[in-house]
Amino acid sequence: MQIGLLGKANVGKSTFFSAATETTVASGNFPFTTIEPNVGVAYVQSDCACKHFDLKHENELCINGTRLIPIKLIDVAGLVPGAHEGKGLGNQFLDDARQAEVLIHVVDIAGTTDIQGQSVPVGTHDPLEDVAFVQDEFDQWFIEILKREWDKITREVDQKRAKLTDGIAKRFSGLGIKDYQVQLVLQKQGLITRNPKEWNDSDIENFVKELRKNTKPMIVAANKADLCQDLEIIKKISDTVIPCSAETELLLRKATKAGIINYNSGENGFKINSEKEIPAPQQKALDLVSTIFSKIESTGIQKILNSAVFDSLNLITVYPVEDETKLTNKDGVILPDTKLLPQDSTAKDLAGLIHADIAKGFLHAIDCKTKQRISGEQKLKHGDVIKIVSTLSRG
């Protein structure tokens, strides 16, 4: 599960990455701070299954009944207009972004950086320009992939050597796009039965834009929201958009690590540790954070990560265990693991995610909440706790 982090220079993308992953990366007021993609582990949050069973268990990934689920976050190399033509670090950017299943586009919603990433006074650049140019870069990239092979696709279909869906999907396989995703868009656009010879440029462009939206969903992280003079601007953005302040999240995480405050990502406030004496500059920074929370409720970082996984990708959490009574693995650890699966995944899908041999010898599964035996085709629900019974169970 990989999330790509995009954005032009100096919008706070590297700060977002550092705040989300607690990984120190280079950041600065100049283009291409990120040259090679930084890869780190961030966490999405969901209710832990321990709540259902009223269990108390020691687990660093469960905090007061909130489960932390690791995901991979890729801080993609710098982006400029014309990336699809190879400008800036264009080719590298597109190759890195290709690996992601969902994209977070960090935008300077306060308008303090121009289209090239240079600093300008607050509110003097239109952030909607940035949203549009990134959407356009991806659309143009997809269009080039398809147009480059279009004559070959039409010949294959005409000679009945390939179906239209297969011909298009083959050209996008490097981006992880599947046949069924291509077919859904063709049906939605009314193109499934049309001869590709009859398609015009508008048909190709409309098809590609819809394919991009469906296969590379994008969330806009409206960063520097605390500095924005009019947050009503976010209503003009068509993608999912969430206001945030990456710098505030990073400050809070550092203060928590130093023992100055108690704060969990996603909360709309923090508690000062009364046992610690806080120097005046740090107290001033914390006072500023309090005013920021009154404007944007939370830093937004956790909300964005959660939205990427549970809203854009529609994933569910499932807890595999080996002992259905004690809800443990073979070492006695309670609810030791969490798996993220697509909606409509089955018990056998879960078995395959655990290990191919487990799926190969699959017999049945047990729903630990209902204590009932379920088949391999049983669809799983968000928060299920499942034991897999297999002839090839490991250990």
- pLDDT, tens digit (0-9, with 9 covering 90-100), for 279-324: 888 889 999 999 999 889 899 999 999 999 999 999 999 999 999 9
| pLDDT score of 96 more than 80 | no
- Mean pLDDT within 128-148: 89
Tell me the pTM: 0.88
Q: Which residues contact 102 (CB under 8 A, 6 or more apart)?
A: 3, 4, 216, 217, 218, 219, 308, 309, 312, 313
Per-residue pLDDT of 176-216, as tens digits, reads: 888 999 999 999 999 988 889 999 999 999 999 999 999 98
Q: What is the pLDDT of residue 313?
A: 93
For helices 201-215 and 127-158, what crossing angle results, to 10°? 110
Crossing angle for the helix pair 246-257 and 280-296, to the nearest 10 degrees: 130
pLDDT, tens only, 25-64: 444 443 334 445 588 999 999 999 999 999 888 778 998 8
- Residue 85 is predicted with a pLDDT of 59
Location of structure tokens 């098809």: 207
> For residues 304 and 228, what is the distance between their CA atoms, to the nearest angstrom?
18
- The letter for the amino acid at 393 is S
Q: What is the CA radius of gyration of the chain?
A: 24
pLDDT over threshold 50, residue 246: yes
The alpha-helical segments, DSSP class H, found in 297-384 are: 301-306, 347-354, 356-360
**What are the tens digits of pLDDT across the range 5-24?**
988 888 999 899 999 998 75
pLDDT at 115 over 90: no
**Using an 8 Å Cβ cutoff, are 113 and 120 in contact?**
yes
DSSP strand pairing (102-108 vs 66-75): unpaired
Neighbours of 62 (CB within 10 A): 21
